[in-house]
Amino acid sequence: MSAGPVFVTGGSGMLGRRVIAALVADGRTVRALARSGRSSAAVAAAGAKPILGDLADLDAVRAGLAGCTSLVHCAARMEGGGQFLAYVADNLTGTKHMLDAAAAAGVARFVHVGAAMSLLGSAAIDGADETWPLHEPKCSGYVRTKTLADRAVRAAATDEFTTIVIRPAWVWGSPDDPQLLAIAGAVRAGRMRLIDHGRHEIVTSHIDNVVSAIVLALDHGEPGAAYYVFDDAPITIKDFLSGLMRTQGLDLPRASIPAPLARALASAMETTWKVLRRPGTPPITRLLVALSSRPFLVSDQLARTELGYQPVIARTDGLSRLHAATPN
């Protein structure tokens, strides 16, 4: 275990709060970057000392990093979070700021939360692992910049500065998950449609399994390496969504549209949202179609071998826990 404090970014978010709590439970002292009073309260409630500032506030970052021996970088602008340059500023430039500040402060280990979606390209994702190349899909500013940040993190590794990327798939399991709530809202409004009947298999990553991998990466893993981390087995999109909706007291509709029609609708809707400057994301996006119209099957064997990773919660147990945590 690293002796000094752990610095966490994105600590007020869904994943970051869980990371802080797990680190505190593991006996570690945690500091967390917080952009506002509300964020400060959230990270303090999770068990961290708030450091007021953001990824662009280098003075605050440097002060917060003093004496820290490791850093967990969870902060990111998520899908639907604005124009491409905003993604670049937060997901790429912000990550580079953290890398530079951490290296200058003598931080020994930098763990970055990447995205398995960076595999998305022209080929089907079937049997992929860490040897497969990452891509910069034009359909998503989020994924493009996560790919660029992933490369920057791995390239920054030196003999004195170990950098590691943890790449989860669909992160789920939290009752306040915005994606879960959005899907449930679409089901209630009668707008939910499967693509290709949801028949394709995917990998998923319960939030507790992701947190476990992050904590392991603070003490294990090779410099400059990346590790995929998933739940116990693949599952079809239909079965996974059905399970998620049952936790919300809902039945997944049977309605489905073919992938070619879904792609056309997604392109048209994204254009409409952009031209009319509508807030948020359309009900269907090109990224959603890309993820739903083919298998997304990746191995996490390297994490099991080099990090000692094993899922700490099975999907069935995660669904039961999510159901119990959802207000009736």
Q: Taking a C-beta distance cutoff of 8 angstroms, is the pair 229, 166 a contact?
A: yes
Query: 228 an active-site residue?
Result: no
Question: What is the DSSP secondary-structure string of 104-135?
Answer: HTT--EEEEE--GGGG-SSS-EEEE-TTSPP-
99 burial type by CB count under 10 A (0-12 exposed, 13-18 middle, 19+ buried): buried
Q: Which two tokens stand for residue 43?
A: 């990270």
Measured CA to CA, the distance from residue 287 to residue 72 in angstroms comes to 27
Instruction: Please give the C-alpha separations between residue 10 and each of 15, 241, 299, in angstroms, as whole numbers.
Output: 8, 27, 27
Question: What is the DSSP secondary-structure string of 226-279?
Answer: EEEE--SS-EEHHHHHHHHHHHTT-PPP--EE-HHHHHHHHHHHHHHHHHHT-S
Q: Which of 142, 227, 228, 309 is catalytic?
A: 142
Instruction: Please give the C-alpha separations between residue 129 and each of 4, 29, 217, 228, in angstroms, as whole numbers.
Output: 33, 34, 18, 8
Q: Which neighbouring-strand residues pair with 49?
A: 31
Q: Could you list the active site residues?
A: 142
